[in-house]
Amino acid sequence: MIDKSLHEPIKSEDEDYIMRKIREDYLSDSTVTIFLIGEYCAENNNLENQRFIKRELQASLYHRQGNTRNGILGVILPPMINRVLQGSYYCSQCNDSHNSVNIGDETVISEFSYNYYIPQNGKCSWLEEDRYCVLTTWEEFIKNPNIYIEYAFQKRNLPIANKTRVRP
């Protein structure tokens, strides 16, 4: 693993320039972006640094000539587990039980939530093949990070990759 994190802000107000610099200088030779899901990484959190997280996810999902789309791995940090993983519920549409995973603007950046819950017609739940983003807890990730990184890497070449969106 090579750390390609953006540690210093790019000094510009031009959004397109910032995105291009992130792609060129930080992500062009990376393959998987790890998104740590903590208390201050939600879309509706008005902290200044959220826009940098958002830009890194956008640049990671960008897929054009000279820049391939990264796999996205979300790792839920311990303080967020109960806010994200909320048990199971009974579904009256399919008469089955589903896990309740709170991935939305109150817990993550919208680029992650959209590509975790890619819109689908007529289905009441998402299977792994319906999701582009991979999700795990910190506890599971540290046991064997390579499994989750490899899974996110493989998602780049699956049919679901064609349904991703950069700016939902």
The residue whose two tokens read 């506890």 is 139
DSSP 136: E
Which residue type sits at 165? R
pLDDT bin (cut points 50, 70, 90) of residue 49 is low
The residue whose two tokens read 């390609």 is 4
Mean per-residue pLDDT, 16-27: 76
Q: Is the pLDDT of residue 97 over 90?
A: yes
Q: Is the pLDDT of residue 82 over 70?
A: yes
Model confidence, pTM: 0.85
Mean per-residue pLDDT, 121-143: 93
Tell me how crowded residue 47 is: count the other CB atoms within 10 A of its CB: 11
What pLDDT is recorded for position 87?
92
